[in-house]
Amino acid sequence: MIASVPAAILSAALAAVPAAVLAQGYAGLGAEADGDFAVPQQGAALAFPGDHLPHPDYRIEWWYLTAALSAADGTRYGVQWTLFRSALRPGSDTPGLPGDTRQVWMGHAAVTTPDAHLFDERLARGGVGQAGVTEPFEAWIDDWTMRSTAPADADPLDAITLTARGNRFAYDLALEATGPLVLHGDAGFSVKSPAGQASYYYSQPFYDVSGTLTLPEGDIEVTGSGWLDREWSSQPLSGDQEGWDWFSLSFESGAKLMGFGLRESDGGHFTSATWIAPDGTETAYGDGALRLTPGATAEVAGRTIPVEWRVELPDEGLDVTTTPLNPQAWMGTTFSYWEGPIAISGSHDGHGYLEMTGYE
Amino acid sequence: MLDAHDLRKTYQTGDGSLTVLDGVSLSVARGESVALTGESGSGKSTLLHLLGCLDTPDGGRLSLDGSRIDDLDDAGRARLRRDRIGVVFQSLNLIPSLTVAQNLAFQARLAGRHDPDWQERLTRRLGLDGLGQRFPEQLSGGQQQRVAIGRAIANRPDLVLADEPTGNLDETTAARVRDLLLELVDETGAAFLMVTHSDVLAARLSRRLHLSGGRLA
Amino acid sequence: MTRTALMALLSHWRRHKLQLATLLTGLALATALWSGVQAINAEARRSYDRAAATLGQDVLDRLTAPEGVTLDQFVALRRAGWQVSPVIEGRIRAGGTPLRILGIDPLTAPPQAGLTALAGDNDIIGDFLSTPGLLLVAPETAAQIGDADLPPTRIAPDVAPGTAVTDLATARRLLERQRLSYLLVASEQPLGLPPLSDIAELDRRTPDESTDLSELTDSFHLNLTAFGLLSFAVGLFIVQSAIGLAFEQRRQSFRTLRALGLSLRRLMVLLTAELAVFALLAGIAGLALGYGIAAALLPGVAGTLRGLYGASVAGTLAFDPAWAAAGLGITLAGTALAGAQALWRVARMPLLAPAQPRAWAMASARTLTAQAGGAVALLLTSAVLVWVGEGLIAAFACLGALLLGAALALPPLLIGALRIARPLARGPVGEWLLADGRQQVPALSLALMALLLALSANVGVGTMVGSFRTTFTAWLDQRLAAELYVTAPDEAAAARVRAAGDELADAVVPIWSVDVDLRGRPGSVYGIADDPLYRDNWPILEALPEVWDRVAAGTGAIVNEQLFRGTDMTLGAPLRMAEGWEVPVVGVYSDYGNPAPQAMIGSDALSRRYPDVPRLRFAVRTDPDQAAEVAAQLRERARLPDQGVVNQSEVKALSLRVFEQTFLVTGALNVLTLGVAGIAVLTSLLTLSGLRLPQLAPLWALGMRPRTLAALEVARTCLLALLTWALSLPVGLALAWVLLAKVNVEAFGWRLPMHLFPAQWIGLAGAALLAAGLACLWPAIRLTRLPPSRLLRVFAHDR
């Protein structure tokens, strides 16, 4: 009982983190922005590198990296590295321990193999220096870091190193972008519901990845592709949305697809997609263009979860099926959700990542 | 010496009152031995208890050497029992925590009349030599009764009362014990009254009284 | 058949109401004291669990530094991957009581009590992490601190009493500290971390088992449990004698029932069921009584634990069904134990054997020999344990062997004593009295053993508490040598106190301290002036030469006994009191009632290391006769509140009151145990009185008055009680010695000199006589009221 207490307190503290919040039945919490928090506005232009840094006046924000990897022997792996920022009140923290904490940070890291899913979690308050995102670009919580290694004249996210360490795993990866940043929705203004809830959302989907995974059985050299999502908001979701299914797909053609469906309590999906051409040209599709159909399910952490999906985007001639590398890719963290690498087959072949929240 | 006149005794029972003695008069002289016989429940033991100052009559008079004893208080009756009366019951006469020698001497010492020579003679006569340091529970029934007789006599009482003193013993032992009792009582010259069922035994005493329905026949 | 048989069996109790009452009383008493003590123990354990759970402090390693840990060190460790969590801990006064502040970081803290109160409420979390913050406290603590000037409180039932869990930043503000008290190190750490020492220079310490609260208080609870067990055993003595007699008296009924066709098995089932029903009825009554006892004693127990160990225990009792079930269970088990012998006899009783009276409680000479042998073995074991035993368990085993051995030795010793006394008897009655007493010993031995145990416990505990009290009073005199103690609210008032004091009093000596970790435990160091106040009075136990000169010069420190013994220190050993500041320990002083380590050193030396600590407390020396007047003047001139100046005599009175409160429970249990022993004697005598008649009737027939016999019965019982008391003295003193020389040192870290209190013994002799006298009074009075016919029936023909 007592062991679950910190989790319980944090589930409240970080109630504004959307993916998990939805999953935990806090759907309503993020629906209306507190009067004190800033709200995303359509038409506001994103500016880099400044927007790589935190936006403390918004309630929630994340730096979310997933990578589909393989070893020399062909074994496939997946890696996740996430830093969440959740504001108790808007504004930056005063350095030190002044006693009015505004920002709470949470880190999730995971390695997925065909037969294991290893993950860990970190929490920190703002101000003391235990976690944060600063210039020159570094996002960190404890010893988990995402640090820019790009030359001064390039975008800081063009080249990064990524480290994390749990009780049973660790990784140390180098990532280099082979394409530009991609803005979703209307130049980065991504609508999440018919009622107009929205976030700022951009990605760097063009990472080549190489590095080392440390697993209980030893070190493994891996290579593959990575995808970074950046998103911040104060009122991302509407009250009747139960959870979401989010896909990042990299096809052998060099094209990519970001697509998500927000499951509504009446059973429908509010979908949104961005088709990314090999050169980085993006095409945004609004609600209804993308079709998501759940397929085979699996028993995961006591829940029934659709681990196979049919993903269709007729406008781009896309009709594929996704299958998980490991159906048991459950993040049993403070907020629990499914997050793992998938293989794509059908009209297009390739690899990607799937996140599913809100399955009770 | 012992005179009883019109003694009455009634017990309260659950169903009313039960008259056990209904006007009993008798007298026993010094040196005389009297047998008291009667059916079970005829009141023999009750009469013996009244005569021995163990219980008090509801009516009538009782006197010893001419002085009234029926109206004595508890302390007076206790003194009388201690100083002048010797009693032998059928069983459980002895004090279990004291040795045979202590039991023999107990009443005499209580009365302040302990005579070591007399006790030694008695011990020998009773055939209790060498048993002085034993405890009652280590003796046979016959031996126990002999101790009880010795104790009653050691005090040189004026009156010796016995209530079926051999009733618990086998016939041979009983005969030996009662011979001893009669002999010793005779030697001391005390008045003697014995409750008994046995006609043979009754015949050996100087007089016989028969109790029936609470009255002497 | 069963119904008829049951009616026949039960009719016995209708005719022997007293016996039934005895049986039920014995069972109820046994249950009451046992379950009462269990309830107290359980409540205390719950409090400890809360205290331990308030921080995973009993299992996790800690990182400490003499002057505290910095926030930077914490962050550096986290950024190197180490899973550590910061804690700021200290005490403040709130609403007149001390409040332990436990400042934690909820985001990195290990599993943590209290925080459930925050779960699921986003606003509350925000409040907790913000200014003014939130204090999570137990309900009783909330009531205690009332409307003190503190951050808002929120009730968290699982937080230990007397503790407030709050955010790190709030704690830092309340305690006016900059640094962290320590870092907790999670038991599991990530793969491949760099060594701790590469990141921060901190001492890593595994929690010391011996400082663990529950370990420390175990001795106290063992004590209580022992008392409870003692009472339970004594209660069972009562039950056993009542059951034994009832079965004996019903032999004829059993035989008749069986002859009429009731099977032995059904008879046994009926008898067992009968006992079980009695046990349940008495058990329920006993539970109610036990709950009452526990509720009445608990505030005292809480006081004791606070006074001796600084452990906070809630003063109110919660009802726990599991406790009740366990209590009933133990009653049933006890009844089974007490009734087993009687049931066994019934089971083996031949159907047609003649009914013969049997002295069922009589023990043979062989039993006596066996008892004596067992006693010798146990007493030897106890002696061996005294010399070779280590630790609390050995000490208590030693006590157990001593008490049990003494109890077993009692019957042979009493018989021996009565035999030796034989030549002293004058006259036949005296002889009979001794002889009869000797014969009664086996029958009364269980009750007398109970009395012996109760008396020994009284002597032992009385001696211990008395020794403690004598030492404590003398120590108070030494420790509180100054006539007045002044506390100023701020620096300005302190300056006024100094100015006024210089004029009014003989001397004004500042008393100030800093909170420092001493050998790994939070403690304090006092800076003391070189003053006769200390030189002439301080209760030094052991010291190197020129101790006061060295302390004054700052080249040596003196430490309290707890620190000295707790860390196996030797004189001359270095003691670190700040980063880079170590001085040798040059002396040890006694410091009773303080669970924390403490050291003292010259004021100048300490203020060089800690220049900013305010000095607000002073000892004021003056003519004792004028103390009251000087106090009044000081209050006026320094403009101090009333409680700012305290008279030495008031402090002493308060301390003694706390002391008395501390041992209230012990005293109450002593009286209760003695009371139960008295009841055991009473019921034994009542049980025996029926069997006594054949032994007394011949004496009556030979001319002894019932009143005389009754008086002799009383005399005999009192004689046995007095002999038992005499034996209890050496046993009790041995008990006290073990308590003082062994248990105390293990449990408290203090060694106390043993003082003897003969007046107390005389009092106890009186109590023993009173208990025995009262116990035999009723049987004696019944004897004087017996009609002759009842006595004559003994001699009746048809037995």
For chain C, the chains sharing at least 3 beta-carbon pairs closer than 8 angstroms are A, B
pLDDT at C623: 85
Cα-Cα-Cα-Cα torsion B86, B91, B96, B100, nearest 10 degrees, comes to 60
Beta-strand relationship, A76-87 and A131-134: unpaired
Bigger pLDDT: C435 or A174?
Answer: A174
Chain B contact present for C692, CB below 8 A: no
> C649 CB contacts (<8 Å, ≥6 apart)?
none
Q: Which of B11, B49, B109 sits opposite C428 (nearest CB)?
A: B109
Q: Using one digit for the tens of pLDDT, what is the confidence trace for C131-183?
A: 888 898 888 788 878 777 889 888 887 777 778 889 999 999 998 888 898 89
Q: Which of C71, C124, C133 sits opposite A96 (nearest CB)?
A: C71
Asked whether the beta carbons of B197 and B178 are under 8 A apart, the reply is: no
Q: Using one digit for the tens of pLDDT, what is the confidence trace for B177-213?
A: 888 888 888 888 899 999 988 888 888 888 999 988 8
> C664-701 and C758-784 helices cross at what angle (nearest 10)?
40
Shortest CA gap C365–chain B (Å): 14
Shortest CA gap C664–chain B (Å): 45
Chain B contact present for C788, CB below 8 A: yes
pLDDT at C581: 86
Burial class, C263, CB count within 10 angstroms (exposed 0-12 / middle 13-18 / buried 19+): exposed
pLDDT at C48: 66
Q: How many CB atoms within 10 Å of residue A67?
A: 27
Cα distance between residue A185 and residue A282, in whole Å: 9
Read off φ and ψ for residue C511, nearest 5 degrees.
Answer: -120, 115
Mutation for testing the B interface, residue in C418, C444, C795 having most B CBs under 10 Å: C795
Share of chain C above pLDDT 70, in %: 84
Chain B contact present for C428, CB below 8 A: yes
- What tokens appear for C164 in the block? 């407030």
Q: Which of A8, A2, A22 is nearest to A237 (CA)?
A: A22
- pLDDT-derived band at C49, boundaries 50, 70, 90: low
Q: Which of B75, B93, B97 sits opposite C432 (nearest CB)?
A: B97
Shortest CA gap C348–chain B (Å): 25
- What tokens appear for B42 in the block? 């005829």
- pLDDT-derived band at C792, boundaries 50, 70, 90: confident
Q: What is the mean pLDDT of residues C239-262?
A: 77
Question: What's CA A222's distance to the chain center, in Å?
Answer: 21
pLDDT at C309: 55
pLDDT at C688: 72
**Total tally of structural domains belonging to chain A:** 1
The region of weakest confidence among A151-165, B4-18, B113-127, C265-279 is B4-18
Say whether pLDDT at A344 is over 90.
yes
Q: Which of C79, C110, C120 sits opposite A8 (nearest CB)?
A: C120
- pLDDT-derived band at C663, boundaries 50, 70, 90: low
The architecture in CATH of the region B32-55+81-216 reads 3-Layer(aba) Sandwich (3.40)
Q: Using one digit for the tens of pLDDT, what is the confidence trace for C487-514?
A: 777 788 888 888 888 888 888 888 888 8
Which residues of chain C make contact with B78, given a CB cutoff of 8 A?
703-705
Which residues of chain B make contact with C795, given a CB cutoff of 8 A?
89-93, 163
Burial class, A152, CB count within 10 angstroms (exposed 0-12 / middle 13-18 / buried 19+): exposed
Contact C122/A101, CB-based, under 8 Å?
A: no
Cα distance between residue C318 and residue C323, in whole Å: 10
> C227 CB contacts (<8 Å, ≥6 apart)?
C33, C37, C457, C669, C673
Say whether pLDDT at C672 is over 80.
no
- pLDDT-derived band at A15, boundaries 50, 70, 90: very low
Shortest CA gap C126–chain A (Å): 6
pLDDT at A7: 26
Q: Which of C173, C183, C174, C128 is nearest to C153 (CA)?
A: C128
The region of weakest confidence among A69-73, A76-80, C406-410, C521-525 is C521-525
Burial class, A38, CB count within 10 angstroms (exposed 0-12 / middle 13-18 / buried 19+): middle
Chain B contact present for C15, CB below 8 A: no
pLDDT at C219: 55
Q: What is the mean pLDDT of residues A71-85?
A: 95
Shortest CA gap A322–chain C (Å): 33
Beta-carbon pairs below 8 A across chains A and C: 125
Say whether pLDDT at C353 is over 60.
no
Find, in chain A, the residue whose alpha carbon is nearest to that of C180: A97
Question: According to the per-residue pLDDT averaged within each range, which of A196-205, C254-263, C482-491, C695-704 is highest?
Answer: A196-205
- pLDDT-derived band at C337, boundaries 50, 70, 90: confident
- What tokens appear for A194 in the block? 């018919």
Q: Using one digit for the tens of pLDDT, what is the confidence trace for C713-734?
A: 898 888 888 999 999 999 989 9
Burial class, C745, CB count within 10 angstroms (exposed 0-12 / middle 13-18 / buried 19+): middle
Q: Using one digit for the tens of pLDDT, what is the confidence trace for C554-583?
A: 899 999 887 887 778 889 999 988 778 889
- pLDDT-derived band at C380, boundaries 50, 70, 90: very high
- pLDDT-derived band at C1, boundaries 50, 70, 90: low
Shortest CA gap B31–chain C (Å): 22
Longest dimension (CA), chain B: 53
Three-state DSSP class for residue B172: helix
Contact C106/A10, CB-based, under 8 Å?
A: yes
Cα distance between residue C32 and residue A96, in whole Å: 57
Chain C contact present for B78, CB below 8 A: yes
> C664-701 and C706-738 helices cross at what angle (nearest 10)?
150
Say whether pLDDT at C58 is over 70.
no
Domain ranges of chain B: 32-55+81-216
pLDDT at C616: 78
Q: Using one digit for the tens of pLDDT, what is the confidence trace for A236-291?
A: 566 678 888 999 999 999 999 999 999 888 778 899 999 999 999 999 999 999 99
Contact C789/B74, CB-based, under 8 Å?
A: no
pLDDT at A175: 97
Contact C794/B164, CB-based, under 8 Å?
A: no
Q: What is the 3-state secondary structure (H, E, C) of C247-285?
A: HHHCHHHHHHHHHCCCCHHHHHHHHHHHHHHHHHHHHHH
Cα distance between residue B94 and residue B99, in whole Å: 9
Contact A99/C131, CB-based, under 8 Å?
A: yes
Q: Which of A213, A179, A182 is nearest to A77 (CA)?
A: A213
Q: What is the mean pLDDT of residues B7-11?
A: 88
Helix (H), strand (E) counts: chain A: 2, 25
Contact B54/C435, CB-based, under 8 Å?
A: no
pLDDT at C41: 78
Contact C106/A15, CB-based, under 8 Å?
A: no
Chain A contact present for C107, CB below 8 A: yes
Say whether pLDDT at A317 is over 80.
yes
- pLDDT-derived band at C306, boundaries 50, 70, 90: low
3-state helix, strand, coil in chain A (%, to 5): 10, 50, 40
Mutation for testing the C interface, residue in A97, A123, A213 having most C CBs under 10 Å: A97
- pLDDT-derived band at A17, boundaries 50, 70, 90: very low
CATH number at residue A344: 2.40.370.10
Q: How many CB atoms within 10 Å of residue C359?
A: 16
Query: Could you tell me how many residues make up chain C?
Result: 799
Which residues of chain C make contact with B54, given a CB cutoff of 8 A?
701, 788, 791-792
Residue span of the structural domain in which A331 resides: 2-356
Contact C173/A99, CB-based, under 8 Å?
A: yes
Find, in chain C, the residue whose alpha carbon is nearest to that of B79: C703
Say whether pLDDT at C249 is over 80.
no
- What tokens appear for C624 in the block? 């004792």
pLDDT at C84: 93
N-term to C-term CA, chain B: 21
Share of chain C above pLDDT 90, in %: 9
- What tokens appear for C684 in the block? 């034994």
- What tokens appear for C281 in the block? 């009825």
* β-sheet bridge partners, residue A63: A83, A230
pLDDT at A157: 96
- pLDDT-derived band at A33, boundaries 50, 70, 90: very low
pLDDT at A4: 24
**Segments of chain B assigned E as strands:** 2-13, 16-28, 33-38, 59-64, 67-68, 85-88, 159-163, 191-195, 207-212, 215-216
pLDDT at A12: 28
Cα distance between residue A85 and residue C637, in whole Å: 58
pLDDT at C363: 43
Mutation for testing the A interface, residue in C107, C165, C172 having most A CBs under 10 Å: C107
> A44 CB contacts (<8 Å, ≥6 apart)?
A189, A200
> B17 CB contacts (<8 Å, ≥6 apart)?
B10, B11
Cα distance between residue C669 and residue C33, in whole Å: 9
Q: Using one digit for the tens of pLDDT, what is the confidence trace for C387-397?
A: 887 776 777 78
Amino acid letter for position B200: V
Cα distance between residue B139 and residue B98, in whole Å: 13
Question: According to the per-residue pLDDT averaged within each range, which of A170-179, C392-401, C535-544 is highest?
Answer: A170-179
Q: Using one digit for the tens of pLDDT, what is the confidence trace for C363-374?
A: 456 777 888 899
- What tokens appear for B208 in the block? 């016989």
Q: What is the mean pLDDT of residues A346-356?
A: 95
Q: Using one digit for the tens of pLDDT, what is the confidence trace for C26-36?
A: 888 888 888 88
Q: Using one digit for the tens of pLDDT, what is the confidence trace for B40-87?
A: 878 888 898 899 888 889 989 999 888 888 888 888 888 888 889 998
Contact C125/A140, CB-based, under 8 Å?
A: no
**Do chain A and B touch: 3 or more Cβ pairs under 8 angstroms?**
no
Shortest CA gap B89–chain C (Å): 6
Q: Which of A88, A142, A143 sits opposite C126 (nearest CB)?
A: A88
Q: What is the ipTM of this complex?
A: 0.90
Q: Which of C80, C62, C86, C73 is nearest to C195 (CA)?
A: C80
